[in-house]
Amino acid sequence: MEKKKYHIVTYGCQMNVHESEKLAGIMQQLGYEETDETEKADAILFNTCCIRENAEERAYGNIGALKNLKREKKDLIIAVGGCMTQQSGAAEKLKKTFPFVDIVFGTHNLEDFKRLFEKKLSTKKSVLEIQAREGSVKEGTPKYRTSYPNAWVNIMYGCNNFCTYCIVPYVRGRERSRKVEDIVEECRELIAQGYKEITLLGQNVNSYGNDFEEGVNFAKLIATIAALDGKFRLRFMTNHPKDLSREVAYAIKENPKICRAVHLPVQSGSNRILKAMNRRYTREDYLEKLAFLKEIVPNCAVTTDVMVGFPTETEEDFNDTYDLMKTARFHGAFTFIYSPRSGTMAANLDGQIPEEVSKARISKLIDLQNGINREISEEYITKTVEVLTEGYDEKKKMYFGREEFGKMIYFASDKDVFGEFVNVKITKANGISLIGTTEN
Ligand code: SAH
Ligand code: SF4
Ligand code: F3S
C-alpha cells in the first residue's frame, strides 16, 4: 500500500527549521513520507513564527488558502503549531478564524506531537492543546534531517533576556541547557553518519550552562565538540554581545574546526535606544567586544542583526546606528523594521515611529551594507577558499556552498561534489555571492 504523505511549512528562525525536522521525525515514525506538493499531502503541518507581524500574516494567509483543499479532501489533516500559537489567546483566535484546522499545538508540546496526531486520528475531533509552561529538556525525539551536509543541534532552549521588543521569551520560556554529554554524543553520531558541518543553536549560546553547576560553559562546550575526530566545521548562533567572553574567542582561535564567523546582533548603535531595548550593553561595550574578537581571532568575520524604528528613535539615534555599522564593517547584516508585538514592553511605549520614516532609515542601512558587502566580495577575487558543497543550482548549472565565513560560492564541477569540501578559486563577485573555479 502506498504510504500516506506529509508536508511541512516552516516560518522563522533556524531553531524552527530544526524543530520542523523533529515534526518530520515524528511523522516518519507514524508511517508517513515527505512530499513537497501540498495537493498530494494527507497531512499539512505549519510551524509558525511571530517575531514580526509579517511572519504571522504570511502564516494566516497560507493556512486560509487551504480552505478549499480541505473541503475537497475531507481526510486531510491540518496542524498548526510553533511560536505564533504559543502566544496567549492565539490558539483560540486561530481556531475561530479557521475552524477547519484539525490540530493546534504550541512550542512547549511540539515534542508531544505524536500523541496529538494519534488523538486526532482516533477521536476524529479537532485537538487544541497548548502547554502553558516549558517542561524540562526532552531527549530522544526522532529527527528527520533535511539539511545535509549541515546538521542543526540544539544546545539550549528558551531565553531569559526580555529585550523589550521581543516576543521570544514569552513563547519559548526560560533558558534550559541540554547536558554536555547529550550534545557531544549527538555531534559524534552526526559526524559518524557523514555530516560535515554542525550548527549549534540557542537564542543566546553564550549563556549555555548557566543553569548548571559551575565548570560548564559555552567555551568549554565548543572546544569539546571541536576535539571530536573527523573533518567537519562547527558553527553556532546566536551570540548575545553582553555575554560574549574572551574565553569563547580563545576557543575559536585554538580550534581550527570552529568557523571564524560570529553572528553578534547589535540591534542599535544608540546608547539611549539600547537601554530602552534592555540589551544591557552600550555602544562602547559592543565595540570593545568586536575589538577583542579581532585581536584574538584576527580574521574573524562578524555578522549582525540591526533594527530601525524602535519607539522614540530619533534621527540622531539612527545616525549612531549608521555610524556604528560603518565603523564595524560587518561581513553581513540582517536589517529589520521594528514590529510591535503584543505582550512585550515596547508595544506600549509612546513614540511609535511612522512606517515611512522606518522605511527610509532601513533603506539607508541596506545601501550602506550593500556597499560593504560588495567591497568584501571584491577582496575574495583570486583567493582560494574551501567550500562545503550544499547543492546544485539547475538554472545556473553550478554547485554552490559556503566558505568558512559564510559567503555563498558558485562553481562548476564535472564530478558530483555534493556534501564534499572543495577548493575553489574565486574569479568573480556577483552581488553577495561569488563565482569561482575548482582546483581539484
Ligand atoms: N536571540 C537572538 C535573536 C532572535 S530574533 C538575539 O538576541 O540576537 C532575530 C532578530 O529579529 C533579532 O536579532 C532582532 O533584530 C529581530 N527582532 C526581534 N524582535 C523584533 C521585533 N519586534 N521587530 C523587528 N525585529 C525584531
Ligand atoms: Fe529576543 Fe533578546 Fe532573547 Fe534574543 S536575547 S531572543 S532578541 S529577548
Ligand atoms: Fe524563531 Fe520566530 Fe519563534 S524567530 S524563536 S520561530 S518567534
Q: What is the pLDDT of residues 15-70, one digit of tens each?
A: 999 999 999 999 999 999 999 999 999 999 999 999 999 999 999 999 999 999 99
Alpha helix segments (H runs only) across 41-155: 53-64, 67-72, 83-86, 90-97, 113-123
pLDDT for the residue 214: 79
The number of residues making up the chain comes to: 440
Its pTM stands at: 0.97
Return the residue matching grid coordinates 560570529: 262
What is the band of 389 on the pLDDT scale with cuts at 50, 70, 90? very high
Give phi and psi for 427, each to the nearest 5: -115, -25
Q: What ligand is nearest to the CA atom of residue 343?
A: 1
Q: Per-residue pLDDT for 331 more than 90?
A: yes
Which sign, positive or negative, has the C-alpha torsion 304, 403, 400, 20? negative
Nearest CA to ligand 1 atom 3: 203
Ligand 1 neighbour 165 (Cβ under 6 A): yes
Ligand 1 pocket, mutate which of 17, 51, 242 (most atoms under 8 A from CB): 51
Report the atom number in ligand 3 closest to the C-alpha of 14: 1
Ligand 1 site, residue 46, Cβ cutoff 6 A: no
Tell me if 172 CB under 6 Å of ligand 1: no
From the CA of 171, how far away is ligand 2's center (Å)? 11
Instruction: State the DSSP code for 230.
Output: S
pLDDT higher than 90, residue 318: yes
How far the first Cα of the chain sits from its last, in Å, is 46
pLDDT reported for residue 28: 98
What atom of ligand 1 comes closest to residue 346's alpha carbon? Answer: 22
Identify the residue whose C-alpha is closest to ligand 1 atom 13. 305
Q: What are phi and psi of 103, to 5 degrees?
A: -135, 130
DSSP 307: E
Q: What is the Cα–Cα distance from 131 to 118, expressed in whole angstroms?
A: 17
Question: Minimal CA–CA distance to 26: which of 124, 152, 117?
Answer: 117
Q: How far is the CA of 431 from the centre of ligand 1 (A)?
A: 25
Quote the ligand 3 centre to 99 CA distance (angstroms). 24
The pLDDT tens digits of the residues spanning 207-249 come to 999 999 778 999 999 999 999 999 999 999 999 999 999 999 9
Give pLDDT, residue 215: 83
The mean pLDDT of 101-122, rounded to a whole number, is 98
What is the model's pLDDT at position 440? 59
> 144 near 21, Cβ under 8 Å?
yes
| Averaged pLDDT for residues 143-159 | 98
Whether residue 264 has its Cβ less than 6 Å from ligand 2: no
Residue 346: which pLDDT band, with cuts at 50, 70 and 90?
A: very high
Average pLDDT for the chain: 97
- Once rounded to an integer, what is the mean pLDDT over residues 321-347? 98
Q: Ligand 2 pocket: which of 15, 86, 201, 204 to mutate (most atoms <8 Å of CB)?
A: 204
Instruction: Give mean pLDDT, residues 163-170.
Output: 98
- For ligand 1, atom 19, the nearest C-alpha belongs to 166
**What integer is the mean pLDDT of 106-110?**
97
pLDDT tens across 65-106, in order?
Answer: 999 999 999 999 999 999 999 999 999 999 999 999 999 999
From the CB of 87, is ligand 2 less than 6 Å away? no
* Backbone region of residue 351 per phi and psi (left: phi > 0; alpha: psi in -120 to 50; beta: other values): left
Give the side-chain half-sphere CA count within 13 A for 61: 7
Tell me the helices (H) and strands (E) count for the chain, helix number first: 14, 19
Q: Which of 299, 295, 278 is nearest to 287 (CA)?
A: 295
201: Cβ below 6 Å to ligand 1?
no
Beta bridge partners of 333: 304
Rounded mean pLDDT of 373-383?
95
